[in-house]
Amino acid sequence: MLIGHYGPAFIIKAIDKKVPLWALFIAVQVPDIIWGTLILGGVERANINNDLTSNPLDLSYMPYSHGMVSTLLYSLVIVGILLLFPYFRRHRDVAWWLGAAIFSHWILDFLSHRPDLPIWGDSMKIGLGLWNYPVWAVAVEVAIYLIGAICYSIAVGGFKRWAAWLFWCFIVVSTIGSSFRGDGMTPAGVESIAISALVFYIFATVVIYIVEKNERKP
Ligand SMILES: [Zn+2]
């Protein structure tokens, strides 16, 4: 799952407008940011298998980035670090929302991944396998993303004119781009997938930062 992870980010922002959306955009992708970095560093491993539906990645070894316990630990450690700062001690809910956003990544991956998510270390791998049903996988991911984007847009009362264009163009282009991943695609390699994912996360965060600065109700 790629854009679907942004659904919870939008929903959290719609519920509590104190939480910066750009920070939520980073938080919901923390496990994948760690995954991309560890793949490039040769610590975690994956292979391309074009027989797999929805996502050609055979995620054979990712105990650090996508373990259930390790993801929970990232959430709690980051909440703990944030609570060292006076701002977050005054607004503890903002720190906890960011922690929840990090763990939401694992929950949505649990829904979509084949059983490749270890609970602890490299063992007890689970995953409900929505990816085995390519049409449903795209439909569910796009629905989570679009429902989130619409809730966010309503909650902040829309955007100043050009920012509305930027926001909805980004939503439409990322939805189309994401829906055509997977089947029929022959990726150059695991490293290039990791690099393009990391570049996309940076790009999405920059776009959302600009959009957020131009909400009608700041
Ligand atoms: Zn992931």
Answer yes or no: are the C-beta atoms of 56 and 50 closer than 8 Å: yes
Ligand 1 centre distance from Cα of residue 217 (Å): 32
The confidence score (pLDDT) of residue 186 equals 60
Ligand 1 centre distance from Cα of residue 87 (Å): 30
Ligand 1 centre distance from Cα of residue 180 (Å): 18
The confidence score (pLDDT) of residue 166 equals 96
Ligand 1 centre distance from Cα of residue 110 (Å): 9
pTM (2 d.p.): 0.93
Residue 88 to residue 114: CA distance in whole angstroms: 37
Ligand 1 centre distance from Cα of residue 12 (Å): 19
Ion ligand 1, residue ranges at CB < 5 A: 31-32, 109
Beta-bridge mates of residue 58: 47
Enumerate the domain spans of the chain. Answer: 3-213
Ligand 1 centre distance from Cα of residue 66 (Å): 6
pLDDT in 10s for each residue of the chain, 218 residues: 899 999 999 999 999 999 999 999 999 999 999 999 999 999 999 888 888 888 888 888 999 999 999 999 999 999 999 999 999 999 999 999 999 999 999 999 999 999 999 999 888 999 999 989 989 999 999 999 999 999 999 999 999 989 999 999 999 999 998 877 654 556 678 898 899 999 999 999 999 999 999 999 75
Answer yes or no: are the C-beta atoms of 102 and 78 closer than 8 Å: yes
Sign of CA dihedral 32, 37, 43, 46: positive
What one-character DSSP code corresponds to residue 6?
Answer: H
